[in-house]
Amino acid sequence: MLRLSELKLPLDHSADALAPAICKRLKLDPEALQAFRIVKQSVDARRKEAIQLAYSVDLDLAPDLETKVLRRFSRDPHLQITPDTVYRPVTQAPAEHNLPRPVVVGAGPCGYFCALLLAEMGLKPLLLERGKPVKDRTADTFGFWRRERPFNPESNAQFGEGGAGTFSDGKLYSQVRDPRHLGRKVLEELVAAGANPEILVQQRPHIGTFKLATVVRGLRRKIESLGGTIRFEARMSRLELSGEGESRRLRGLWLADGEFIEAQQLVLAVGHSARDSFEVLQQQGVAIERKPFSVGFRIEHPQPLIDTARWGSSAGHPKLGAAEYKLVQHVSNGRCVYSFCMCPGGLVVGATSELGRVVTNGMSQHSRNERNANSGIVVNIDVDDMEPYGAYPGDPLAGIALQRHWESKAFELGGSNYSAPGQRLGDFLAGKATEASGSLQPSYNPGVTYTDLSSALPAYVIEALREALPQFNRQIPGYAMDDAVLTGVETRTSSPIRMPRNEQLESTNTPGLYPAGEGAGYAGGILSAAIDGIRVAEAVGLTLLRQERPGAPGESACGPA
């Protein structure tokens, strides 16, 4: 089978236009094309007056013709043999074995895909999640946003089945290097669990919040059907360790209710907001180091403004949907200002996981049909910036302290009732407080209190934002409109820590502990977290196989940490 890429057709092409276009492109007789399958679809909007759809397609030709076509187009980089994207497990447990049961902590995308792969290997993992199942979690989270329920520190936009990505746009693309096509495995499992099959072909696929809730239940059912066990409201309180130095070993973990669970292999996939877990692990001597992250605000614009800037006169076309953007600006104080987790046709939502703090995030449904576009506009925080916030010089958790400081400040500025502080963009740039909304109504729930955001983040962040935001107007006309709304604060862009790991993906100083996913500093989004979960599951499986069959091949397929 051959793969042809960069096959472009006009935006309004008919459904039956692809086959003739393929034949024309490869100079084939129509009967020579036995079948074809779309494997990728994207939008080429470089010329707004002539937007095109670009396809990659797999072609079924007679074997002798494939050879001739390949030879004829040998210099064409857009024609190749279809790559093999089938996932093949690196190991499989014997049908009858006495291997110790691996434990996974955290039911976000990393933890769920780690548990799924371990279950497919026949290892019957135990998955522990501190929050609630997604149905109950959704009721708590939406109830908090609507002020119908009190904030629950264990069941919210960060904690619970599905992880932080459940209440987001559900983006399913990543910039991680993926030579083994693990991302394809993730997408196929998501479709099998209930996601729309279109995510397999879209260039920038997304699921949306409500659909994600359905998908995580599907993943849960599959893990359980393969012998895995999932327990909710089971918060890890600390590890049980034995020995010192090189003889230090993991024996298990304790839950908050006092239960002890034995574990020789424990995957830590707790997400970037499990601050209490990081504190305990640091106290127990697990290797942790600072990692850069970013902070800023959410910004909202009318979605039609973004659509017009991106699609021109084709804005509103049903094949295009709501437009996205990606912006980056380096400013004079040395900082980088960039858009983060842009949510077309979405909402700004409360994403705190701790009492007395305010955190913003963006969320979209699959339809992306809300009136506003929103995005984080954030500024880089380097490891040296964290030092003043640490409990002592070199404190590896200083980034967490920085986040908490500004989240508490946002809580105060918003009125100490979980409303978020907000400001019209024109007022922010002019350095004066906002007293009332303009033409654009903010979407943040539980609510917005207008104020002056100048004191909501470090001075160097405010300075960088005030320089960069007007510059973005060059790329998106109208972006610096006075009535755009800033809402604070966006602090959970990524984990502020990294837990170093070795080539076997174990903690560098705690054998048996496998830090994984976004919380451990090895992912940034749903897809990359799920991919890391697969890699860690493979590492755990290979380790257990060597225990069952001493002398078995120990070469890891996971690559370097």
Question: 1 is written with which tokens?
Answer: 């089978």
Q: What angle do CA 78, 83, 89 make, to 5 degrees?
A: 155
Q: Determine the pLDDT at residue 551.
A: 54
pLDDT in tens, 148-161: 999 999 999 999 99
Q: Determine the pLDDT at residue 537.
A: 98
Neighbours of 225 (CB within 10 A): 9
All domains of the chain in start order, with CATH: 2-81 (3.30.70.2700), 103-289+499-548 (3.50.50.60), 292-490 (no CATH)
Q: Determine the pLDDT at residue 206.
A: 84
Amino acid at 104: V
Q: What is the pTM of this model?
A: 0.94
Q: Determine the pLDDT at residue 253.
A: 98
Q: Determine the pLDDT at residue 155.
A: 97
Q: Determine the pLDDT at residue 366.
A: 81
Q: Determine the pLDDT at residue 504.
A: 95
Length of the chain (residues): 561
Q: Which of 491, 525, 541 shows the shortest CA–CA distance to 361?
A: 491
Residues 339 and 40: their CA atoms lie apart, in Å, by 25
Q: Which of 290, 333, 328, 360 shows the shortest CA–CA distance to 462?
A: 333
Cβ-count burial 31-55 (b if 16+ within 10 Å, e if not): ebbeebeebeebbebeeeeebbbeb
Q: What are phi and psi of 497, to 5 degrees?
A: -135, 160
Low-confidence residues in the chain, pLDDT < 70: 548-561
Question: 360 is written with which tokens?
Answer: 């913003």
pLDDT in tens, 82-103: 999 999 999 988 888 889 999 9
Q: Determine the pLDDT at residue 561.
A: 36
Q: How many helices (H) and strands (E) does the chain have?
A: 12, 23
User: Before 349, cis peptide (omega within 30)?
Assistant: no
Instruction: Give the residue carrying structure tokens 């932080």.
Output: 164
Question: 182 is written with which tokens?
Answer: 């693990």
